[in-house]
Amino acid sequence: MAILELKNIVKQFADYTAVNGVSLSIEQGEFFTLLGPSGCGKTTLLRMIAGFESPDSGQILLDGKDIKGLPPEKRPLHTVFQSYALFPHMTVQDNIAFPLKMAKWNKSEIDERVREQISSVQLERFAGRYPHELSGGQRQRVAIARSLVDRPKLLLLDEPLSALDARLREHMHVELVKMQEKSGVTFVYVTHDQSEALALSSRVAVMNHGVVEQLGTPREIYSHPKTYYVADFIGKCNLLKAKVIDASGENVVLKVADSFELTINNSENKFKLGLDGWFAIRPEKIKANWDPRVEEGIANFKAKVKGYYYYGDGTLYEFLLENGTVIQCMLSNNRPHQASFFEDGDEVYISINPLAGNFLVE
């Protein structure tokens, strides 16, 4: 059963619509991510779930009950804030005990649970310290420990890693997933970092301008983006202008970037003759070779190396087509022959399999 259900949430501020009809159903135990750029409405949505804002219309059901009108302190969920919001005048121990004190637990129960919670995040040595005496990663752990201490039904995390440096952030990815699995608490995570969203989540909702553009597992979102926006926002993607030039059979033929043709499936009969759109294909799904390779259904054409970026594990090439279109192609550096490294100006043949990309209609 869904632990959290959002039904057609709308929230308007004076001059713009922050959330414009969002419906989501989040399952018990999920690591669910709201992903989008700043201003897409993800934080507003989170604040409405927490009770700091109230929706203009729509319903928020927690465990099947409408929580509209409940103030934040009455909602059985907690938030981890971007700034951690640890109380500066309290020690680690007192910070973690705060929710239990508010819930009027008795002293011995509080002590026991707090001790347990502190040891679960390996902060025993820091129990008596104040927040300003801790490192960023330690503060982060205290903030999460404090939010999980009374076993809430839901934990909301608002860009909790954005204040940490890159290495620590990666380390915290592992910790976050561990904490989530160990506690069994459903996480709703807000981030603008697409790689973080892909790495951590069981499901991702990509938001833009107050609506959910696409909802799915990280793999679905990455491999089968449904809109131009999602393809562009998640990872690197070649977005090439395409037009349906033949729709006579079960398959349709696309003219891509005014230079090559691809045949794609049209069994759902969605694509009509003359339809404009974009052919989206990830750089690593494109192949490049010294010589032409003719295969059934695969487009193979000549291109020139315009430049490349060496990333260590792979090299990102930029290929120039005759009409000036640039196609990016990520080739693994783990290929057998040194000859597979191309230099600027080299003429190569690139292959595009229509099944590796998606035709997106705006």
Partner 1 sequence: MLGNKLSKSLIFSGTLVYLFLYVPLLILIVYSFNDSRVNVGWVGFTLKWYKVLFADKQLISAAINSIIIALIASTVSVILGTLAGVALHKYKVPLLSTLVMIPVAAPELLVGVSLLLFFLLINFSLGMVSITLAHIAFCLSFVTIAVKTRMHGMDDSLIDAARDLGASPVRAFFSVLIPTILPGIIAGWLMAFTLSLDDFVITFFTAGVGSSTLPLAIYSMLKMGVTPEVNAASTVIIICTLILTSIATKISPQLFK
Nearer to partner 1, 88 or 312 (CB): 88
146 contacts partner 1 (rule: CB under 8 A): yes
83 contacts partner 1 (rule: CB under 8 A): yes
89 contacts partner 1 (rule: CB under 8 A): yes
Residue span 109-138 as binding mask against partner 1, x where in contact by CB under 8 A, dash where not: ------------------------------
Give Cα separations from 228 to 114, 267, 339, 358, 359 (angstroms). Answer: 48, 22, 35, 10, 9
Q: Residue with structure tokens 């989206």?
A: 280
Binds partner 1 (CB under 8 A): choice among 13, 87, 309, 311: 87
Main-chain phi, psi angles of 114, to 5 degrees = -65, -45
| 79-87, 132-140, 190-198, 238-246 -> range binding partner 1 (CB under 8 A) | 79-87
Q: Could you say which residues in the range 219-258 bind partner 1, by CB under 8 A?
A: none
| 70-78, 119-127, 194-202, 290-298 -> range binding partner 1 (CB under 8 A) | 70-78
103 contacts partner 1 (rule: CB under 8 A): yes
Rounded Cα distance between 303 and 350, Å, is: 7
52 contacts partner 1 (rule: CB under 8 A): yes
Kindly state the smallest distance separating residue 52's Cβ from partner 1, in Å: 6
Kindly state the smallest distance separating residue 336's Cβ from partner 1, in Å: 54
SS3 per-residue string spanning 128-155: CCCHHHCCHHHHHHHHHHHHHCCCCCEE
Say if CB 254 and CB 244 are below 8 A apart.
yes
Binds partner 1 (CB under 8 A): choice among 147, 315, 328, 358: 147
Residue 283, both tokens: 């750089």
For residue 257, which of 307, 285, 299, 222 has the smallest C-alpha distance? 299
82 contacts partner 1 (rule: CB under 8 A): yes
Binds partner 1 (CB under 8 A): choice among 98, 222, 229, 342: 98
85-98 b/e with 16+ CB inside 10 Å = b? bbeeeebbbbbbbb
Residue 50, both tokens: 């927490």
Kindly state the smallest distance separating residue 89's Cβ from partner 1, in Å: 4
What end-to-end distance do the CA atoms of the chain give, in Å? 34
162 contacts partner 1 (rule: CB under 8 A): no
Amino acid type, 347? E
72 contacts partner 1 (rule: CB under 8 A): yes
Nearer to partner 1, 153 or 304 (CB): 153
Rounded Cα distance between 137 and 140, Å, is: 5
Residue 92, both tokens: 């680690």
Nearer to partner 1, 52 or 311 (CB): 52
Rounded Cα distance between 179 and 330, Å, is: 34
Binds partner 1 (CB under 8 A): choice among 15, 73, 291, 313: 73
Side-chain-side CA neighbours of residue 103 (13 Å):
16
* Site of interaction with partner 1 (CB under 8 A): 50-52, 71-73, 78-79, 81-83, 85, 87-89, 98-99, 102-103, 146-147, 150
